[in-house]
A and B are shown apart, each in its own frame.
Chain A
Amino acid sequence: MKKIPARTWQSITIGLIIVGVLTLALSGLLGQFIGKAINPLVSVQAWFSSRVQAVVEFFTVPRDVASLRQENAVLKNEVSQLQSELLQVKQQLTETDILYALLDYARTRPENKYVAASVIGRDPSPFLNYIIIDHGSDDGVLKGMPVVTQQGLVGRVAAVTASAARIQLITDPGSIINIRLEEAKTEAQVTGSVTGDISLEMVNPSVNLVQGDLILTSGLGGSFPPDILIGQLISPQLEENALFQRATVQPVVDFVNLRAVLIITNFKPVDYSPLIPD
């Protein structure tokens, strides 16, 4: 019997293996077989990969934190800028509202000429109620001119420089204004005080004072135009044997939050000093 050469056996073995593999592949068993063979490799790969990832993160994450912090700082800066802009816009809106209100008031009294001014300060002395405004003689503001807001009478110009003026408020202790009471149809005076309150003085005791009565300038004395609203009468006080009645007055102007005023520039106060005997 002829001996089969070794090379032939090798070829047969390879052929059988190929046929086996093909049979396994065609029968669907090859995938399971490969899976079982590869699983340990995948586990090793996964373990190695996780360790490599940890090492990579160790070096890269601190850089990410630094960049995030930087980005956070930039965003915070942007937010603060936007907040600042928002505040500015709100401020401008408030100023616009005030100016619109003043403009509306000026339109209701077209016979007067006005100069609008912002309040930039208050008198340093606590005894006095004066404000400082940002318009002066360069803008046509003169001493003695009446000052109003859309709500009512504020005071009068007490001193003027080229670019600023000092206004004596009606709440100043040195302020005396001739007024008339709308309902009571009588005339009297409103005076200021050191506390900033205003009170009604020199009212005839026979006059029936009504709470809530409107107080307007009378125009007497020539210091103010007539019919500018000052406030409302609150609590009349008639002391026994007193020569005059008194009452506290609620001013219509909010003097604490006064931001802008109107100066009536076409009103010239009457200078009656030559009439006063020496």
Chain B
Amino acid sequence: MGIALAFPIIFLLIILQTTIAGQITLLSGSTDLVLLWLSAWAIQGRVKSAWFWAILGGVCVAFISAIPFYIPIISYSATTFFARMINKRVWQSPLLMMFVVTILGSLLLYFSSYAAMTVNGISMSWKTSLIEIIIPSTLLNLFFSIPMYAIVKDTAQWAYPLEVNE
């Protein structure tokens, strides 16, 4: 069920990302809906297909975006790894866990994007990138992580209902 659900939801998220979410900007930063969904999905204890979602999301974004293909795949996979790791430690406070994973995932995605583009010969001011893109995008991700967590939690409960032992 979780794997079958991955395709329509990832495609829908990418459509929303390229059409609407990209227009909601803070300075030059924008939110990453795929990252938020994958973070929230991975911290749901009952979800068993988080790695598949991370790889699929990474591949789809790599196909759409002009960013080097390995950046979204590595970033989303690493975010899933963080989420899975943290899930076993601070499970009592899921929203706090969502914030931690969002911050870690966002910073990893944006710093790795900056590094990859610089290595590829694109000249970008470090200070401008930090102030105009990395920090605003991370803040926007934190802002949108709350509603995204609620949506993902409901979806996970629907996709993986708890078994009742009589």
Contacts and interface: CB of A to CB of B under 8 A. Distances in A.
B123 A173 contact: yes
Contacts, number: 81
A130 B22 CA distance: 11
A159 B65 CA distance: 10
Nearest to A161: B63
Size band of the interface chain B makes with A: 20 to 34
B130 to A, nearest CB: 10
B66 A123 contact: yes
B80 interface: no
Contacts of A127: 67, 110, 113-114, 117, 124, 129, 133
A120 B114 CA distance: 26
Contact of B64 (A123, A126, A193, A196): A123
Contacts of A126: 22, 25, 28-30, 110, 133, 137
Contacts of A168: 66
Q: B66, B113, B128, B137 — which one has the most chain A CB atoms within 10 A of its CB?
A: B66
Interface string A170-207: 00011000000000000000010111100000000000
A132 B19 CA distance: 10
Interface string A141-182: 000000000000000001100000010100001100000000
B113 A125 contact: yes
Nearest to B63: A161
Interface string A125-138: 11110101000000
Nearest to B21: A124
Contacts of B66: 123, 125, 128, 130, 158-159, 166, 168
A189 to B, nearest CB: 12
A125 B32 CA distance: 8
B18 interface: yes
Contact of A124 (B28, B61, B117, B125): B61
Mostly, the A contact residues are: loop
A245 to B, nearest CB: 18
Contact of B32 (A124, A130, A158, A193): A124
A173 B121 CA distance: 10
Contacts of A128: 65-67
Interface of A: 120-128, 130, 132, 158-159, 166, 168, 173-174, 191, 193-196
Interface of B: 14-15, 17-19, 21-23, 25, 27-30, 32, 34, 61, 64-67, 110, 113-114, 117, 120, 122-125, 128-129, 132-133, 137
26 contacts: A121-B64, A122-B19, A123-B18, A123-B66, A124-B17, A124-B21, A124-B64, A124-B65, A125-B65, A126-B29, A126-B133, A127-B67, A127-B114, A127-B124, A128-B65, A132-B18, A166-B66, A173-B122, A173-B123, A174-B117, A174-B120, A193-B125, A194-B124, A194-B125, A195-B128, A195-B132
Given A126-B29, A194-B125, 14 more contacts: A122-B18, A123-B18, A124-B17, A124-B22, A124-B32, A125-B65, A126-B25, A126-B133, A127-B67, A158-B66, A173-B117, A173-B122, A173-B124, A194-B129
The 9 closest A-B pairs by CB, nearest first: A121-B18, A122-B22, A174-B122, A125-B67, A126-B30, A124-B17, A195-B28, A130-B66, A126-B133
